[in-house]
Structure 1
Amino acid sequence: MNRDHILSILKDIENGNLSAELAAEKLRLEPYEEFSYANVDHHRGLRQGVPEVIYGAGKTAEQIRGIAEAMLRHEDENILITRISPEKRAVLEGLPVDYREIAQIAIVNPKPIEKPYGSIVVVSAGTSDMPVAEEAAVTAEVLGNRVTRIYDSGVAGIHRLLAHTEELMQARAVVAVAGMEGALASVVGGLVDCPVIAVPTSVGYGASFHGLAALLAMLNSCASGVSVVNIDNGFGAGYQASMINQVGRYSKSVSE
């Protein structure tokens, strides 16, 4: 349940269109709902503007469906389920779902974003980095942002990246996704005037240590304005890019 939905309930009470008893029934499971395996945070959308995101890895298919159905009962929209395999996705049959196979993200109760905001660019070094890049891009799109994808543009053929300099320079945040030695983030950081969120991936040969080499290279970047998320954490990067892109979009009242 997000802020707009709660405001609509309160306005219905104010206008005499809804009794206090019915309003209490609508809100009776706030702020969270207990299951034997989870406590579903129904106030997340009110506090943060985004409903709770379901991390699919490690959960059973039945647990994923149970949490999704609980959120649907509270009329949440664009519910993100990350790291959900095609096999687990089958348990959502019968629910309104948009499944993105490359990103392994399911969007439950999907609603179109009428006016995507700002500009986020997601750039990946190689095609093998696409699953993590798509996780970042889909996350950012569902959160209401305009996203441009620039894929397979790593430093092994840097002219491919430089061909997109205009799109990069127009971004309010860039997500740079790379495995191997992770050099892409430093190159992008030297081109743009906005924050760069570096995502190391576990792509690479033995000495990449499943992404540790890229992680350390990105943490040691000499380019200013580069921050780093965990290995393969496309979701975290997309979420952070959204927060950066939307800074100032909604004003907050500050008491003096």
Structure 2
Amino acid sequence: MIDDDMENLVCFDTDRVERIGLTEAILANVKTPEQISEALRQAHNSKGKALITRLEVEKFDALSEQDKALLDYDSISKTAISGKIQTPSNEANILIITGGTSDLSVAREAARTLLFHGVSCNELIDIGVAGLWRVLHNQEAIKAASILIVCAGMEGALFSVIGGLARGLVIAVPTSNGYGVSEGGRVALESALSSCAPGIATTNIDNGYGAACIALRSISAS
């Protein structure tokens, strides 16, 4: 028998943070406003906070006024955070890099995920290899970072360039920005996977959240 009771359609993983150190995020783009609201209720009742990803402005606007009052919403990253945002720690020395300004939404998804977990980061935006001087100009910051989240579309050459300069953990995030054969991010993904710079971790296309989780697991393991 089909059961459309909202409590039976949503089962938030309240113990995930105790198991793996990461809180379950609420993926909004495949949920109705009612399902988001129920997931938010369960998360907030259990932990007093929640992270929502892929929350488009139109879907945020469709939430109840009560739900919206709980949320710190960022339209660039399409994320929302409920609960008190703690003062982030800068001990991890994380640097987020983008090839272009068009990669900013993916980068900010990573940054907001880190913020939710109490970790800060620095950013270098729009330093793609078409203007290689921009990378070279920032070599000191790149070499000093312990973890680097690199977001790039098009041909994805930035991953290998950063991987050849940085001593820290490099996490490649191929983005769907591009046109022609680069459209959709598959070329950037294959570039990351086939990079000759050894030891680069790679997420799925546009997965800023996943990149932040790799960084958080690395911090937890160190």
Question: 1:125 — aligned with what?
Answer: 99
User: For 2:126, what is the secondary structure of its paired residue?
Assistant: coil
Deviations 1:91-128 (A, max 9, x none): 15334211111000000113222534311111000011
Indicate conservation of the 8 Å contact 1:124/1:177, yes or no: yes
Q: What is the aligned counterpart of 1:41 among 13, 23, 38?
A: 13
Residue 63 of structure 2 is aligned to residue 89 of structure 1: no
Coordinate RMSD, CA, aligned? 1.6
Mapped to 2, the partners of 1:141 and 1:152 lie a distance apart of: 21
- Which is worse superposed, 110-119 or 176-185? 110-119
User: For 1:199, what is the secondary structure of its paired residue?
Assistant: strand
- Aligned pairs, how many? 214
Correspondences of 1:122-161 after superposition (within 5 Å)? 122-161=96-135
Q: 1:45 is matched by which residue type in structure 2?
A: V
Summarize the Cα distance change of 1:92–1:171 in structure 2 as closer, same or farther, 3 Å threshold.
farther
Indicate conservation of the 8 Å contact 1:116/1:145, yes or no: yes
TM-score, normalization: structure 1? 0.79
Q: CA deviation at 1:203?
A: 0.6
User: For 1:39, what is the secondary structure of its paired residue?
Assistant: coil
Question: 1:64 — aligned with what?
Answer: 36
User: For 1:99, what is the secondary structure of its paired residue?
Assistant: strand
Gaps of 5+ in 1: 1-33, 249-256
Indicate conservation of the 8 Å contact 1:123/1:133, yes or no: yes
Mapped to 2, the partners of 1:115 and 1:148 lie a distance apart of: 12
Summarize the Cα distance change of 1:194–1:114 in structure 2 as closer, same or farther, 3 Å threshold.
closer
Correspondences of 1:1-256 after superposition (within 5 Å)? 35-77=7-49, 79-90=50-61, 91=63, 93-94=65-66, 95-248=69-222
Mapped to 1, the partners of 2:58 and 2:120 lie a distance apart of: 30
- Which is worse superposed, 105-114 or 152-161? 105-114
TM-score, normalization: structure 2? 0.90
Q: 1:213 is matched by which residue type in structure 2?
A: V
Bigger CA radius of gyration: 1
Structure with more relative contact order (C-alpha pairs < 8 Å, separation 6 or more):
2
Question: 2:3 — aligned with what?
Answer: none
Gaps of 5+ in 2: 1-5
Mapped to 1, the partners of 2:174 and 2:106 lie a distance apart of: 9
Indicate conservation of the 8 Å contact 1:117/1:144, yes or no: no
State, as a whole percentage, how many aligned pairs show the same letter: 39
User: For 1:244, what is the secondary structure of its paired residue?
Assistant: helix
